[in-house]
Amino acid sequence: MRVLVLNDFLADWTGSEVVALEVAEHFGATTSSFWCAEPAKSSLADWRPLAEIDLTEFDFVWAQQHAVFPLLDKLTPGSSRPAIAWASLSPYEPMDNVPPSILGAYADEVVCNSRETAEARGADTVFANAAPNPFHFERAERSLRNVLFVSNRQPAELLEAEQLLRARGLKTRFIGKGRECKRLEPSDLEWADCVVTIGKTVRYALASRLPVFLYDRFGGDGYLTADNYALNEAHNFSGRPALRKLTGTEIADEIVRNHAYWTPPPQPRFGDFLDALAARHSKRAFVRHPDLAGIAAMSSAIGGWISEAHGWKATAGDLLTANFSWATLRGFVWQKFRRSRLFRSGAQ
């Protein structure tokens, strides 16, 4: 079975990018996106530009966000198209907003990362941010020595709590943008005696019974327990149910005082979900929806904006490194100006 995995961008270790990478690794799939760059690019075994993708060559597509629609628009009526699972990873993220009529025409199944997302998207299938098999391992219970923080948002109170825990003699690590920027691995969780995080990382931790302290930009309930597990699971372990805010001192105190092990419910395995999902669907004839061309054009415009934004971000990063030169900056700015509406309208 030939599988294609799509996300609008594949460059960093954000949630949608990691999900796409895990799906691709499970199936040995081809990947594609509007934008691709390091550090994620080197982890993709078979990434191809969207312009080189022919959907008729694939049997199954895991599609996130918008990249699938320009590919569908290239098909001719009567040709075959692959089965498409369209994945939504947020109940509120604008990147996940696609007209229901288009999803009804082309998504053979809409899959969501939580019950909260599924309710917002009118879907029935939930993969619950399930962890890949390597995160499911046996853990020996230990006293609290090593505290792992995982966050790309890094609210001030978490940064303060980390420093306070170090002052108490505990070892800490902070994985996320601007800190230890890497893809989370099972060995990171093996090192830890608890993890302070939200969202997808919670599933990774629960798979090995690592105590989870739920807290990030929305606040959080502190340690997950049998009493608060169900409510937080329904909201993707986001911290949103209670929106409970703490100071750095309060976070540090709770991490130390309430540290304990418990046995969470059995955790799903992502590979099992993916195998069952792909087995439920097969290729079918392509039928053109009257709104497809418009959605494809909108999606391509979004892709262009993403590429522009990442390009400017990369140039800004070069300003702070030895890679920067004024010639590089002049060339980049001129290239962007030539593509701008102002230049094109003047040329006309």
CA 15 from centre of chain: 2
pLDDT tens-digit series, residues 34-78 = 999 888 899 999 999 999 999 999 999 999 999 999 999 999 988
In this prediction, residue 91 carries a pLDDT of: 87
In this prediction, residue 38 carries a pLDDT of: 87
Half-sphere exposure of 287 (CA within 13 A, CB side): 7
Residue 213: Cβ-neighbour burial (10 angstroms; 0-12, 13-18, 19+): buried
Query: Is the separation of the CB atoms in 80 and 55 below 8 Å?
Result: no
pLDDT tens-digit series, residues 229-288 = 999 998 889 988 888 999 999 999 999 999 999 999 999 999 999 999 999 999 999 999
| Structure-token pair, residue 257 | 């005082």
pLDDT at residue 345 is higher than 50: no
pLDDT at residue 341 is higher than 50: no
pLDDT tens-digit series, residues 125-181 = 999 999 999 999 999 999 999 999 999 989 999 999 999 999 999 999 999 988 998
| Degrees to nearest 5, angle at CA 34 with 299 and 309 | 90
In this prediction, residue 322 carries a pLDDT of: 52
Best CA proximity match to 264, nearest among 215, 236, 237, 224: 224
Can you tell me the distance from the alpha carbon of 151 to that of 169, in angstroms, rounded to the nearest whole number? 22
Query: Is the separation of the CB atoms in 239 and 218 below 8 Å?
Result: yes
Can you tell me the distance from the alpha carbon of 296 to that of 99, in angstroms, rounded to the nearest whole number? 12
pLDDT at residue 340 is higher than 60: no
Can you tell me the distance from the alpha carbon of 195 to that of 218, in angstroms, rounded to the nearest whole number? 17
Query: pTM for this one?
Result: 0.85
Residues comprising the chain, all counted: 348
- If one compares 331 and 289, the residue with the highest pLDDT of the two is 289
Q: How confident is the model at residue 316 (pLDDT cuts 50, 70, 90)?
A: low
Residues whose CB is less than 8 angstroms from the CB of residue 290 and which lie 6 or more positions away in sequence, other chains included: none
Average pLDDT, the chain: 90
Best CA proximity match to 122, nearest among 159, 169, 174, 86: 86
In this prediction, residue 178 carries a pLDDT of: 86
pLDDT at residue 325 is higher than 50: yes
Can you tell me the distance from the alpha carbon of 90 to that of 331, in angstroms, rounded to the nearest whole number? 38
Q: Which residues pair with 180 in a beta bridge?
A: 175
**Which domains, and CATH codes, for the chain?**
3-130+271-286+298-305 (3.40.50), 133-257 (3.40.50)
Residues whose CB is less than 8 angstroms from the CB of residue 82 and which lie 6 or more positions away in sequence, other chains included: 4, 55, 56, 58, 59, 60, 61, 283
- Phi and psi, residue 280, nearest 5°: -80, -10
In this prediction, residue 312 carries a pLDDT of: 73
- If one compares 329 and 303, the residue with the highest pLDDT of the two is 303
Q: Which residues pair with 81 in a beta bridge?
A: 284
